[in-house]
Structure 1
């Protein structure tokens, strides 16, 4: 028991940094998720709509799953409510009819335009503890970890 206590309390620098990064990320995600919940929305579903827009509005489900870090079966489950709410549309791939493409609808785009600005503002408020140069430095460091 004493050996385990020492192991969990005497953390090497890389482990302390890792846990600090995880905690900071969780706090920021919590701010965003609480915002989406206050609007009756789901952050994971919003992320799908944002990723679709980043790719010009259309992408393969497998690519979308990879972008948001979920399995192919899970992406299908996430897409169902978005399709039911007419925020996305599924269609046959124009060159390979065996594949399906996902497209954001005008309703999905309108939803993002309506709610993304305030969500981004809330995140910006939390990030104000960092100066511009610190944010640039953090971005460089995070990109190194990728």
Structure 2
């Protein structure tokens, strides 16, 4: 790539980013609206999902993984603990820290919410997309997941 092409490439990527952000945002909004029940909230879903996928975390690890301030996480963890969606146990290697785990009730809440959203999305994809378009969407979803991990 030559130097004069760099600004054009940056503009193309910015335009692509806007289209992807808009599409993801609209789809997320629609899935929340169509799920048929109130959302547990984005931070609750993020914490429960992280614990489900990654297992036990310290509060600091959760805050870093979700890119939020530990102080913001404190209220969420207190709420999840009182609702028995997570457990907090002392870290055997450092009693000043706690270890956070998702409970069976937390897994059930996460799964129930996910299933409702996935059912709506599966029906919408079947109605709106050809098999080829569904395959392209599968590839795009994999790419978006990779970008999210950067």
Query: What TM-score bracket applies, with the shorter chain setting the length?
Result: 0.7 to 0.9
Q: Partners of 2:101 and 2:139 in 1: how far apart?
A: 33
* TM-score using structure 2 length: 0.72
Does residue 72 of structure 2 align to residue 53 of structure 1? Answer: no
Match of 1:121 in 2: 119
SS at match of 1:38: coil
Within 5 A, what are the aligned runs for 1:1-146? 12-34=11-33, 38-39=37-38, 41-56=40-55, 58-125=56-123, 129=129, 130-137=133-140, 139-140=142-143, 143=146, 146=150
| Contact 2:35/2:116, CA 8 A, preserved across alignment | no
Long gaps (5+) in structure 2: 1-9
User: Is contact 2:36–2:116 with CA below 8 Å preserved after alignment?
Assistant: no
Unaligned runs of 5+ in 1: 1-10
Q: CA 1:43–1:123 in 2, change beyond 3 Å: closer, same or farther?
A: farther
Instruction: Tell me, in whole angstroms, the C-alpha distance in 2 between the residues paired with 1:24 and 1:92.
Output: 42
**1:1-24 CA distance string (max 9 Å, x none):** xxxxxxxxxx93222112112111
Cα deviation for residue 43 of structure 1 reads 3.2
TM-score normalized by the length of structure 1: 0.74
Residues 60 and 34 of structure 1, relative CA distance in 2, 3 Å threshold: farther
Aligned alpha-carbon RMSD (Å): 2.8
- The 3-state SS of whatever aligns with 1:21 is helix
* Residue 138 of structure 1: how far off its partner (Å): 5.5
